[in-house]
Chain A
Amino acid sequence: MTSIIQVTDLQLIRGNKPICQVPALEIQPHHKFGIVGTNGSGKTTLLRIIAGLEHDFKGTLHCSLPQNQIGFVHQHPYLFKGTVNDNVLYGIRSMATGDRDTLVQQMLESFKIQHLTNRSCQQLSGGEQRRVALARSLIRQPKLLLLDEPFADLDDEGIETTCNILGNLTQTTILISSPTTIHSALAIDGELVLDSIAF
């Protein structure tokens, strides 16, 4: 099977300080892949590099997908000013009105946040914001999903709902989380452990 992500000797240095080092990494299509590691080990940076948000790295990164087929949810997601509906709709505005409204409703229902449709995003709790950000990214059906700490701020119900949704996804998913959450909540196909970088 042709890998969707292939990394060799990847290194990102900022001000003489290496902030991410990955000797080798290969991720197959449709796999769920976990990245774990201590604080400052470069987990988020690696995800950002794969997403195409960091360019000044050394080494090689081969990603078989263009950026518009990659979904990325920040560790602290940013929700645009407006309602939950406006945000979830953002990435599918080019679709026909009826289709996209149905899709938004289905997505909000799957995350059990349909009651928040017309709520201003600034009035949401941290967990609700995270679920809206996930729904907003997933509604575009990206072929590769990058999730930075998707379970942070979520209560037990939120973790269960999110795990059910992520578990049923067929697209390649790379997520950063604590080892406990990754192993207990999701059936992952592979894992990368990053150590804190000594310099």
Chain B
Amino acid sequence: MEFIWNGIVEALKLILAGDPQVLDAAWRSIWISTTAVALAAVVGIAIGCLLARANFRGRTLLIILFRAGMGIPTVLIGLVGYALLSRQGPLGMLELLYTPVGIVLGEFALALPIIVSLTHAAIANLDPRVHETAVMLGASPWQRLKTYLGEARLAITLALLTAFARCFTELGIAIMIGGNIKFITRTLATATTLETARGNLSRAVAMSLVLLLMAIVMTTVISLLSTPRSQEKRA
């Protein structure tokens, strides 16, 4: 147990001293996840609303596919991403393999089904009077969409946070598409794996402590947002 304790002490020293490798990986993890979730939010919220409010052929199949996509293993996304972005792959000419942008694309694919499915559920489960009231008050289709999003904003915020949490802590995509290149594509999760394999426990613990801290912050925010009391205050 002593080496774990020593690892934690060393880790705190690294964090407090502003170790460049820890800070670099932390910053990259944050911006990659944020960018991926922001892009997935734009596309995913639109698709989620469409699936919830429009009737068209194949709608149920799409809903099932997106729901199934919520549990897709990150290594599978990483593998498919690798195959697509590698030199021999159909998107090889973009030269995005082993780049942060490549990881963003992979995490976009991870976040999209989460945001689509949770947005769809949030909008589809709105009180039917929301739609009826908006219609009877002469709302245009655009105004109605804004109303749905406004009424479901808490659930959609939770969807975005859930997607962010999944992207921030994922390993498979960052390793397989990013390649874990120091100061270029290394994230907190890939750095933790590498440092542990190297036997550099203090640095690995430092990386995971930052990951843990972020996870605690996100879980706290999700819990606070999802309590009925906060819903009342925000309403």
User: How many of A's residues come within 8 Å of B, CB to CB?
Assistant: 23
- Is B198 close to A, CB under 8 A? no
Which residues A86-144 have CB closer than 8 A to chain B?
90-91, 93, 120-122, 136-137, 140
Which residues A57-102 have CB closer than 8 A to chain B?
67-68, 70-72, 74, 76-78, 80-82, 90-91, 93
Task: Answer whether A71 and B150 are a contact pair too, CB < 8 Å, given A78-B129, A122-B235.
Answer: no
Flag if A81 contacts B150 (CB, 8 Å): yes
Q: A80 touches which one: B136, B147, B234 (CB < 8 A)?
A: B147
Nearest CB on A from B231, distance (A):
9
Q: How far is the CA of A128 from the CA of B138 in the complex (A)?
A: 23
Cross-chain pair count, CB within 8 angstroms: 50
Q: How far is the CA of A72 from the CA of B136 in the complex (A)?
A: 6
Flag if B136 contacts A70 (CB, 8 Å): yes
Task: Answer whether A53 and B132 are a contact pair too, CB < 8 Å, given A90-B139, A91-B137, A140-B138.
Answer: yes
Flag if A51 contacts B139 (CB, 8 Å): no
Flag if A74 contacts B129 (CB, 8 Å): yes
Flag if B127 contacts A78 (CB, 8 Å): yes
Flag if B133 contacts A80 (CB, 8 Å): yes
- Is B135 close to A, CB under 8 A? yes
Q: Given the complex, which residues of A lie within 8 Å of B135, measured CB to CB?
A: 53, 67
Task: Answer whether A78 and B138 are a contact pair too, CB < 8 Å, given A93-B143, A122-B232, A122-B235.
Answer: no
Flag if B150 contacts A80 (CB, 8 Å): yes
Flag if A81 contacts B235 (CB, 8 Å): yes
- Give the 6 A-B residue pairs with the shortest CB-CB distance, closest first: A78-B129, A91-B137, A122-B235, A72-B136, A68-B138, A81-B235
